[in-house]
Chains A and B, each alone.
Chain A
Amino acid sequence: MKVIIMGCGRVGARLAGLLDTAGHNVTVLDMDSYSFRRLPSGFKGKALVGNGIDEEALKRVGIEQADAFIAVTQGDNRNIMAAQIAKHIFGVKRVICRIYDPLRQELYESLGLESLSPTTIFADLLKKKLES
């Protein structure tokens, strides 16, 4: 599977490593090449500098051939916009984005955008842990 990951922070870099080890074709996109230091040594995928909310930049990293697109930058709005470009302009089959704001996540989920809110997930986990 060809996967594009936008945002090479802790989550992006870790996911890239996991998918790479599992044998997928991974491309990581970030605006700052310094963030590629987080990629595990021996990472066989591609790491490219570019802005994920720019259609031309997405074309350059091969979004037209991608099977999946993951948006995990720090900005909710950037993630949502990039995910919508991937889904509606390029027709990528599987698009998932991170949205910290739970209300925004609910709204976009209801609009058909597959998304996860770390805020909700982590708060629930903490509550379960406390009560167990």
Chain B
Amino acid sequence: MYIIIVGGGRVGYYLSKSLLDEGHEILIIEKNADFCETINDELGSICYRGDGCEASTLAQVGTGRADMLVAVTGDDADNLIACQVAKHKFKVPRTIARIRNPRNEVLFKKLGVDVTISSTNVILEQIAEEVPTHPLIHLHEIRDKGLEIVEVKIPQGATTIGKAIKDIILPSGTIIPLIIRKSQKPLIPSPNTILMAEDQVVAVTEPKAEDVLRKALRGG
């Protein structure tokens, strides 16, 4: 794939490095001459000096044939505009923007950015997973389908311990494909599987059903 990356800071640099290793054709657009030089020295001549929000720059680097544009500068407005110009002027099929203010997620989607990655949310999520009392962990998001895979831990003393899966009323559209049980092999639950303390229940659900799911599995 031909992937254009706007922003040659740390995120842009390491992203390019790993995408190059996967065999993709990469071009970085970066304003800062020093950053460009470092990238060209270390990763090969893949950095073009310029403004990734400018249509003329994007035309220079052949954005018309790009499969994807990823905007990872530290500025939300710059990332939005780079994606919009790529999408509307050059018909790039997939645009991805890094955002710093998590509130911009809705706006960016509404304005045609295909995928947004909120660095703030990613960090929060990672930290939350390390907090042992955290009731629900996001494992994976299936963006196109509006689904997500989450893990709910059953705490000691939960009112649902001892109940069979079939007696638990799950939100509609939610399924439980896996239970990871302390000191046992992971199991695919049957309707008669009994919930035990400290089970890690993996569920496929919709983001809006999270609260109901958490209450159904942990009680109260």
Residues in A lying within 8 Å of B, measured CB to CB: 53-56, 75-78, 80-81, 84-85, 88-89, 101, 103-104, 107, 110-111
Judge whether A78 and B77 touch: CB under 8 Å.
Answer: yes
CB distance from A96 to the nearest CB of B (A): 17
B180 part of interface (Cβ distance < 8 Å):
no
Judge whether A84 and B111 touch: CB under 8 Å.
Answer: yes
Which parts of B103-117 form the interface with A (CB within 8 Å)?
103, 106-107, 110-111
CB distance from A92 to the nearest CB of B (A): 14
Complex interface: chain B residues within 8 A of A89 (CB)? 106-107, 110
B10-41 interface code vs A (CB 8 A; 1 in, 0 out): 00000000000000000000000000000000
Q: Can you give 12 A-B contacts (C-beta < 8 A)?
A: A55-B103, A55-B107, A75-B77, A77-B77, A77-B78, A77-B80, A80-B81, A81-B80, A88-B107, A88-B111, A101-B53, A111-B88
Complex interface: chain A residues within 8 A of B103 (CB)? 54-56
B56 part of interface (Cβ distance < 8 Å):
yes
- Taking a contact as CB atoms closer than 8 A, the residue among A76, A88, A107 that contacts B110 in the complex is A88
Judge whether B110 and A104 touch: CB under 8 Å.
Answer: no
- Taking a contact as CB atoms closer than 8 A, the residue among B56, B81, B101, B107 that contacts A77 in the complex is B81
- Taking a contact as CB atoms closer than 8 A, the residue among B53, B75, B81, B107 that contacts A85 in the complex is B107
Summarize B's interface: helix, strand, loop or mixed: helix
B75's nearest neighbour on chain A, judged by CB, is: A77
B89 part of interface (Cβ distance < 8 Å):
yes
Residues in B lying within 8 Å of A, measured CB to CB: 53-56, 75-78, 80-81, 84-85, 88-89, 101, 103, 106-107, 110-111
A89's nearest neighbour on chain B, judged by CB, is: B107
CB distance from A119 to the nearest CB of B (A): 13
In Å, the complex CA distance between A110 and B55 comes to: 14
Q: A55-B103, A81-B81 are in contact. Are A103 and B110 (CB under 8 A)?
A: no
Judge whether A54 and B101 touch: CB under 8 Å.
Answer: yes
Q: A56-B103, A88-B110, A88-B111 are in contact. Are A103 and B56 (CB under 8 A)?
A: yes
